[in-house]
């Protein structure tokens, strides 16, 4: 091999390494929780859900950011409803593998986002079971409608603001964008309501009480 060829090969290797290194330096800003609360949709309210996001992120080496659960909640008294889209910062957001899933809030709630079974990973970089896997775990707690605002009533859509493990219901999304039928079956955040709020109820439609976490700062 000539000296010129060696130089060219070395340059290509150097550029490739730099490219891959750059792709891997994007900080994680989005994940699906690798585990739920274990108590159905009782997450300890928004504060409890946020704490779980923060704890899981810290365990994965991404604790230097402020993490929020992508969950909506109803207001009480004079308090206004809480919309999931307003809790998560401005983006962009990358998964544990450095793949950008959305540029900003508008992109996240458009058809341009990159959310899918392959990209909606846990904080550990693992793929979450979807439709066709055993067990199916594609139902993700959100309490929202497609635009990221609180899913309207009159029935409960947030399992009593994420404190119920029995009565009530929660709006769910399909992280794998797969469903049996209907216009919302492929929605990542507003596919259908749960049958109830217990762990058994959530498993009944293909879930495990998991939820999305985003780095707000």
At residue 130 the predicted structure's pLDDT band, cuts being 50, 70 and 90, is very high
The CATH number of whichever domain residue 101 belongs to comes to 3.10.100.10
State pLDDT tens for residues 44-94. Answer: 999 999 999 999 999 999 999 999 999 999 987 778 999 999 999 999 999
In whole angstroms, what is the distance from residue 78 CA to residue 90 CA? 27
How high is the pLDDT of residue 174?
A: 98
At residue 20 the predicted structure's pLDDT band, cuts being 50, 70 and 90, is very low
The total of structural domains in the chain comes to 1
The answer to whether residue 21 is domain-embedded is: no
Contacts of 71 (CB under 8 A, 6+ apart): 43, 46, 49, 82, 84, 87, 141, 142, 143, 144, 158, 162, 211
Distances (CA, A) of 26 to 29, 60, 68, 107, 142: 9, 14, 19, 18, 26
Mean pLDDT of the chain: 90
Mean pLDDT of 17-32: 70
In whole angstroms, what is the distance from residue 52 CA to residue 212 CA? 11
The answer to whether residue 62 is domain-embedded is: yes
pTM as predicted: 0.88
In whole angstroms, what is the distance from residue 169 CA to residue 124 CA? 29
The residue among 138, 166, 168 whose CA lies nearest residue 73 is: 168
Q: What angle do CA 198, 208, 53 make, to 5 degrees?
A: 105
Distances (CA, A) of 23 to 15, 16, 17, 94, 99: 12, 11, 10, 10, 8
State pLDDT tens for residues 138-153. Answer: 999 999 999 999 999 8
The answer to whether residue 161 is domain-embedded is: yes
Query: Which tokens sit at 180?
Result: 């049996």
The answer to whether residue 14 is domain-embedded is: no
**Residue 14 scores a pLDDT above 50:** no
Greater pLDDT, 95 or 12: 95
State pLDDT tens for residues 95-118. Answer: 999 999 999 999 999 988 999 999
For tokens 């409608």, the residue is 145
Helix, coil or strand: residue 17: helix
How high is the pLDDT of residue 75?
A: 84
The answer to whether residue 6 is domain-embedded is: no
How high is the pLDDT of residue 182?
A: 82
Count the alpha carbons within 13 Å of 145 in the hemisphere toward its beta carbon: 6
The residue among 74, 100, 48, 88 whose CA lies nearest residue 170 is: 74
Domain residues for 208? 27-215
At residue 181 the predicted structure's pLDDT band, cuts being 50, 70 and 90, is confident
Distances (CA, A) of 176 to 26, 84, 119, 145: 23, 19, 9, 17
How high is the pLDDT of residue 126?
A: 98
In whole angstroms, what is the distance from residue 84 CA to residue 180 CA? 26
How high is the pLDDT of residue 2?
A: 55
The answer to whether residue 19 is domain-embedded is: no
At residue 11 the predicted structure's pLDDT band, cuts being 50, 70 and 90, is very low
How high is the pLDDT of residue 16?
A: 45
């Amino acid at each position: 091999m000539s000296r010129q060829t060696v130089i060219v090969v070395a340059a290509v290797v150097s550029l490739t390494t730099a490219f891959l290194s750059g792709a891997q330096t994007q900080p994680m800003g989005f994940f699906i929780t690798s585990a739920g609360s274990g108590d159905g949709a009782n997450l300890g309210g928004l504060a409890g859900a946020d704490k779980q996001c923060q704890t899981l992120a810290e365990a994965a080496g991404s604790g230097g950011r402020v993490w929020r659960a992508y969950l909506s909640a109803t207001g009480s008294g004079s308090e206004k409803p809480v919309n999931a889209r307003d809790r998560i910062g401005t983006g962009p957001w990358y998964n544990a593998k450095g793949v950008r899933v959305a540029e900003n809030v508008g992109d996240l709630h458009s058809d341009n986002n990159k959310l899918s079974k392959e990209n909606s990973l846990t904080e550990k970089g693992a793929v979450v079971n979807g439709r066709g896997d055993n067990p199916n775990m594609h139902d993700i707690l959100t309490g929202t409608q497609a635009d990221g605002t609180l899913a309207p009533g009159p029935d409960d859509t947030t399992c009593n603001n994420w404190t119920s493990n029995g009565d009530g219901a929660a709006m769910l999304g399909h992280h794998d964008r797969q469903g049996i039928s209907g216009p919302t079956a492929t929605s990542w955040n507003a596919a259908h309501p749960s049958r109830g709020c217990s762990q058994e109820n959530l498993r009944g439609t293909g879930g495990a009480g998991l939820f999305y976490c985003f780095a707000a700062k």
